[in-house]
């Protein structure tokens, strides 16, 4: 496992990520109704062609959202 976000931090199954263009947050607990992604899907399990439902930024354009 060596899937990492743009800032180099590891992505876990519940890690939320934020679009750096429009600040849309992908939350694995909610999935993505636009792409018909079911709740419980981690960011790393999203299809490679998945893009931000708001601005079409690719997965590379998302940064980990830290809770602290
Ligand atoms: Zn976006």
Instruction: Report the separation in Å between the CA atom of 55 and the middle of ligand 1, taken as the mean of its atom positions.
Output: 4
Question: For 35-59, what is each residue's pLDDT tens digit?
Answer: 999 999 999 999 999 999 999 999 9
Mean pLDDT of all residues belonging to the chain? 90
What token pair was written down for 36? 């018909």
Q: What angle do CA 59, 48, 16 make, to 5 degrees?
A: 40
Q: Band the pLDDT of 1: cuts 50, 70, 90.
A: very low
**28: Cβ contacts below 8 Å, ≥ 6 apart:** 13, 14, 15, 16, 39, 40, 41, 42, 43
Instruction: Report the separation in Å between the CA atom of 37 and the middle of ligand 1, taken as the mean of its atom positions.
Output: 16
pTM score, whole prediction: 0.83
Instruction: Report the separation in Å between the CA atom of 32 and the middle of ligand 1, taken as the mean of its atom positions.
Output: 13
Q: How far is CA 8 from CA 5, 16, 60, in A?
A: 5, 14, 11
Residue 43 and residue 59 in contact, taking contact as beta carbons nearer than 8 Å: yes
Question: For 3-31, what is each residue's pLDDT tens digit?
Answer: 555 566 689 999 999 999 999 999 999 99
């Amino acid at each position: 496992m060596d899937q990492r976000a743009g800032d180099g931090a590891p992505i876990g199954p519940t890690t939320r990520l934020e679009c750096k263009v429009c600040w849309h947050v992908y939350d694995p607990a909610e999935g993505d109704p636009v792409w018909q992604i079911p709740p419980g899907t981690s960011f790393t399990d999203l299809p490679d062609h998945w893009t931000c439902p708001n601005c079409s930024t690719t997965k590379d354009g998302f940064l980990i959202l830290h809770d602290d």
